[in-house]
Chain A
């Protein structure tokens, strides 16, 4: 097929420009075209959240977004959340609290949690469980994920207070 579109994206701060069929799904753009394999495919129906990215400031499941819809967007994946020398507090906290096992949901989970804590820096347990309900985990039973998110909220708030 030759009905390709001219697409421009900013992914993790880097500009990307290419031709793509409009039907190409954003998750495939990331994983196969740009070799950004942190976001995973778990269901292709928007249920599991393994493909979660931040798109123009919102948590989005990239398995059901056409790249055409994302044209011009600013996208952050797990690869843009932190790096080995400068980890996001959630990346440290998930390890500290054993908030992951097989690791398949983890990139989406942390990407969502980072956005969630921006949306709600002082959540209750109910808030966390509801706010994270779009991301499925088969291994942990969520208990340690919730714990890790709370610990991060405290840490980020303390850091904010110290900075003020």
Chain B
């Protein structure tokens, strides 16, 4: 029988970092007691709904409200004309552009917000949407960015081409910006001198984050106290408060923004949408709470899309495969308004991480942003800013180069990886990678899947196919990615001028429990579980005794929110540092209680002990009580701390993925036989949650690579407006994933953690795509674009003559 509590027992009792703590969020979600925006119901609440444009480009000749207003229960019909006196018919975007809140004279994409109906319930609002009389005069539609740059048709009549945009001069009336990084002449010189150059053009199609919960808000203006409360699907509630204050003129202390439970975000809920603004205005106008919740079709048609990058690449190397240079040009389709959600100085996000995990001495990236008659946006869907595009680009270019060199692409990667001893590594396009051990990860991955065995099996399959024994080819997809997350140093990164720090405020209660509030907001990542684990380890109180609260701007410290895998790198660091401030004060209290100098006590799991005499100690619980129940000379009462953390650098998680896939050349059907994912996210806080994040990110990668697309026809009609056409994988299509890891802590992060939520998406997309491409490599295919749905795969097989 064990009668002594060991140190290990005390560590286990905390439920701190590294343990597979079960989630504290789950009790309410599994019992239907979550509180999402659409669950909020206030007395007298009205419901808002949009009349949207059926056309992609048209002038509005008239809006007649009569029939709509005649319906019993319709309270108001708002148009741009009504918002103009308030200056709210346009709003700033996060990318330095402006966007119509309600159509001001013309519409620029199908599904654009034209009028906002406010009614007693959603059925009456929908009736009024049906009858509102809007007359349009159609204009020529442009859905192709290359055509846009040649066309005489002016999409944005509100802009003067002679006036520079937010990111410098504009070359054409449909051009938004040019962004250049690196040394183009030097890169071109390297290409000219190179022994081998491989070139490829690739289109990374438009898609959408499509969280299961759509976007929505509830605004409630208390005219007596002058206070506005806004509940909404906000990944960045504090920024929303600042924007709402700037736009409405209501002082910021009179606005309370609350992000309740959020049903997934994946980037969709970073931006500010017309619905949010209209619900606020409607509440101010009517004096009643107003709810707006979009339906799925509205979500897919109008709130922020992702990707839509046309990329042209050139990569040069020696005959032996040592890469000497990389050139990348992107034509970026941003739709009708530049509503990217990127840090201000990065109009193409962190696309300049496109040199990937490789030691490439010279590189150049140029990006041209373009307006078209498509929905506005350009958000980062489960990735740090444009990092998925960057990693897809380089991981495809590596495969294309391997084909040109007639070399195995695993080996090509190995000989070009940044070596462990090169970190911190300064990349040609500016970033300083914090830490990595790519060779170890790669070797571990290839060994785990028996890479040589897979290639032998694949070769045999090709023989069998040629001999008519099978109609299925085998693809081995490889990818090695480096993410750049945790934006970011305030000196580089801001959103609408707000530096991208984050924050944590901790209050220890007298009986040894605590509450910590953060500037971030969970959308399923499990912050209430993992941040408590960080704190438990830092302050020695059990995670179960620590409440984590986020998302209420009246109580939480200011922070920039949750996206770009920044919560753990930035707010997680703030949490650890605030915890250390608590510990520093606790040390002084402990020393006083133990009657020794404070340098003579040391922290040990859940207590301070006298150095050299561990039997003399005060537990953190005792110290917490002492902080409130007795006067301690030289110290204020209480035990609280706050930390605002400005990270010195981004963090650079990385990983090695392998996908084994069978491809039926006659049906185009793919069968994922195996998917192995090795992730290195630095210090691991909760392995259970990490694995869950990886499963989810890989599944969203599978979706994007194999079929998920927002497609338009020539008239600008959205062809993928419901879940019938927009591919979300079911349990039936998704494989079981094998997860693995290495641990290379971030040297600059207080606990060495790097962030993980987006890595699997970033690394997964090229891995799935490479598997499809690889299946056809023996038959002469160099590159085929995503999404690899059955029809496109069939077409690829057909074009290669495999049906002859």
Q: Which A residues fall within an 8 A CB radius of B?
A: 21, 23-24, 28, 31-32, 35-45, 47-48, 50, 77-79, 82-84, 87, 90-91, 94-96, 98, 100-107, 110, 128-130, 132-146
How many Å from the CB of B607 to the closest CB on chain A?
31
> Which of A32, A50, A95, A134 is close to B27, meaning CB atoms less than 8 Å apart?
A95
A residues less than 8 Å from B699 (CB atoms): 140-142
> Which of B123, B266, B525 is close to A21, meaning CB atoms less than 8 Å apart?
B123
Q: Does B714 count as interface, using CB distance less than 8 angstroms?
A: no
> Which of B30, B212, B730 is close to A50, meaning CB atoms less than 8 Å apart?
B212
Q: With A and B bound together, what is the CA distance between A95 and B26 in angstroms? A: 6
Residue of B at shortest CB range from A103? B29
Q: Does B748 count as interface, using CB distance less than 8 angstroms?
A: no
Query: A102-B211, A142-B699 are contacts. A42–B296 as well, Cβ < 8 Å?
Result: yes
Report whether A142 and B734 are in contact in the complex, using a CB–CB cutoff of 8 Å.
Answer: yes
Q: Does B664 count as interface, using CB distance less than 8 angstroms?
A: no
| Contact segment of B128-136, B415-423, B690-698, B789-797 | B690-698
Query: A23-B123, A103-B524 are contacts. A94–B723 as well, Cβ < 8 Å?
Result: no
Report whether A95 and B728 are in contact in the complex, using a CB–CB cutoff of 8 Å.
Answer: no
A residues less than 8 Å from B121 (CB atoms): 32
By the criterion of a CB under 8 Å from any partner CB, how many residues of chain B are at the interface? 56
| Contact segment of B34-42, B402-410, B611-619, B765-773 | B34-42
A residues less than 8 Å from B674 (CB atoms): none
Quick one: CB contact mask for B11-54 with A, threshold 8 Å, 1 for yes? 00000000000110111111111101011010000000000000
How many Å from the CB of A76 to the closest CB on chain B?
11
Q: Closest 3 CB pairs between A and B?
A: A38-B32, A103-B29, A102-B524
> Which of A98, A103, A146 is close to B731, meaning CB atoms less than 8 Å apart?
A146
Query: A39-B32, A110-B30, A146-B731 are contacts. A98–B688 as well, Cβ < 8 Å?
Result: yes
How many Å from the CB of B32 to the closest CB on chain A?
2
How many Å from the CB of A32 to the closest CB on chain B?
7
Q: List 16 A-B contacts (CB under 8 A).
A: A32-B121, A42-B214, A44-B296, A45-B296, A79-B32, A87-B30, A102-B261, A104-B264, A129-B731, A133-B730, A134-B730, A136-B728, A138-B266, A144-B691, A144-B692, A146-B731
Interface of A is mostly: loop
Give 16 A-B pairs besides A47-B724, A102-B524, A140-B696 with Cβ atoms closer than 8 angstroms: A31-B39, A32-B41, A40-B36, A40-B212, A40-B213, A41-B38, A42-B213, A44-B296, A47-B723, A78-B30, A79-B31, A91-B30, A110-B30, A135-B730, A135-B731, A146-B736
Report whether A101 and B731 are in contact in the complex, using a CB–CB cutoff of 8 Å.
Answer: no
How many Å from the CB of B257 to the closest CB on chain A?
19
Report whether A100 and B30 are in contact in the complex, using a CB–CB cutoff of 8 Å.
Answer: yes
Q: With A and B bound together, what is the CA distance between A62 and B398 in angstroms? A: 49
Q: With A and B bound together, what is the CA distance between A82 and B31 in angstroms? A: 7
Enumerate B271-327 residues with CB–CB distance to A below 8 Å.
293, 295-296
Q: With A and B bound together, what is the CA distance between A136 and B295 in angstroms? A: 16
Residue of A at shortest CB range from B40? A37
Enumerate B487-545 residues with CB–CB distance to A below 8 Å.
523-526
Report whether B695 and A102 are in contact in the complex, using a CB–CB cutoff of 8 Å.
Answer: no
> Which of B29, B31, B731 is close to A142, meaning CB atoms less than 8 Å apart?
B731
Report whether A98 and B692 are in contact in the complex, using a CB–CB cutoff of 8 Å.
Answer: yes
> Which of B210, B293, B524 is close to A101, meaning CB atoms less than 8 Å apart?
B524
Interface of B is mostly: loop
B residues less than 8 Å from A28 (CB atoms): 122
B residues less than 8 Å from A32 (CB atoms): 41, 121
B residues less than 8 Å from A79 (CB atoms): 31-32
Report whether A141 and B724 are in contact in the complex, using a CB–CB cutoff of 8 Å.
Answer: no
Q: Does B601 count as interface, using CB distance less than 8 angstroms?
A: no
Q: With A and B bound together, what is the CA distance between A19 and B696 in angstroms? A: 43
How many Å from the CB of A140 to the closest CB on chain B?
5
> Which of B22, B25, B262, B698 is close to A141, meaning CB atoms less than 8 Å apart?
B698
B residues less than 8 Å from A133 (CB atoms): 730-732
How many Å from the CB of A66 to the closest CB on chain B?
12
How many Å from the CB of B200 to the closest CB on chain A?
30
Quick one: CB contact mask for B725-749 with A, threshold 8 Å, 1 for yes? 0001011101011000000000000
Quick one: CB contact mask for B211-227 with A, threshold 8 Å, 1 for yes? 11110000000000000
Report whether A98 and B689 are in contact in the complex, using a CB–CB cutoff of 8 Å.
Answer: yes
Query: A133-B731, A137-B212 are contacts. A103–B526 as well, Cβ < 8 Å?
Result: no
Q: Does B750 count as interface, using CB distance less than 8 angstroms?
A: no
Q: Does B722 count as interface, using CB distance less than 8 angstroms?
A: yes
Residue of B at shortest CB range from A45? B722
Q: With A and B bound together, what is the CA distance between A102 and B528 in angstroms? A: 12
Q: With A and B bound together, what is the CA distance between A155 and B645 in angstroms? A: 46
Report whether A104 and B212 are in contact in the complex, using a CB–CB cutoff of 8 Å.
Answer: yes
Query: A43-B296, A45-B724, A47-B722 are contacts. A141–B29 as well, Cβ < 8 Å?
Result: no
Q: Does B700 count as interface, using CB distance less than 8 angstroms?
A: yes
Residue of A36, A47, A134 with highest tally of chain B CB at under 10 A: A47
Q: With A and B bound together, what is the CA distance between A47 and B297 in angstroms? A: 12
Query: A42-B296, A143-B736 are contacts. A102–B698 as well, Cβ < 8 Å?
Result: no
Report whether A106 and B30 are in contact in the complex, using a CB–CB cutoff of 8 Å.
Answer: yes
Report whether B728 and A77 are in contact in the complex, using a CB–CB cutoff of 8 Å.
Answer: no
Q: With A and B bound together, what is the CA distance between A31 and B26 in angstroms? A: 21
Report whether A138 and B212 are in contact in the complex, using a CB–CB cutoff of 8 Å.
Answer: yes
Q: With A and B bound together, what is the CA distance between A35 and B756 in angstroms? A: 37
Q: With A and B bound together, what is the CA distance between A102 and B737 in angstroms? A: 20
Report whether A48 and B731 are in contact in the complex, using a CB–CB cutoff of 8 Å.
Answer: no
Report whether A40 and B263 are in contact in the complex, using a CB–CB cutoff of 8 Å.
Answer: yes
B residues less than 8 Å from A136 (CB atoms): 212, 723, 728, 730
Q: With A and B bound together, what is the CA distance between A60 and B737 in angstroms? A: 30
B residues less than 8 Å from A135 (CB atoms): 730-731
Quick one: CB contact mask for B194-218 with A, threshold 8 Å, 1 for yes? 0000000000000000111110000
Report whether B26 and A100 are in contact in the complex, using a CB–CB cutoff of 8 Å.
Answer: yes
Q: With A and B bound together, what is the CA distance between A94 and B28 in angstroms? A: 12
Report whether B689 and A139 are in contact in the complex, using a CB–CB cutoff of 8 Å.
Answer: no
Report whether A101 and B526 are in contact in the complex, using a CB–CB cutoff of 8 Å.
Answer: yes
B residues less than 8 Å from A142 (CB atoms): 695, 699, 730-731, 734
How many Å from the CB of B653 to the closest CB on chain A?
18
Query: A129-B732, A141-B699 are contacts. A98–B36 as well, Cβ < 8 Å?
Result: no
Report whether B31 and A141 are in contact in the complex, using a CB–CB cutoff of 8 Å.
Answer: no
Enumerate B628-659 residues with CB–CB distance to A below 8 Å.
none
Residue of A at shortest CB range from B688? A98
Q: With A and B bound together, what is the CA distance between A21 and B213 in angstroms? A: 26
A residues less than 8 Å from B39 (CB atoms): 31, 37
B residues less than 8 Å from A47 (CB atoms): 722-724, 728
How many Å from the CB of A145 to the closest CB on chain B?
7
B residues less than 8 Å from A95 (CB atoms): 22-23, 26-27, 30
Q: With A and B bound together, what is the CA distance between A76 and B30 in angstroms? A: 15
Residue of A at shortest CB range from B523? A102
How many Å from the CB of B721 to the closest CB on chain A?
10
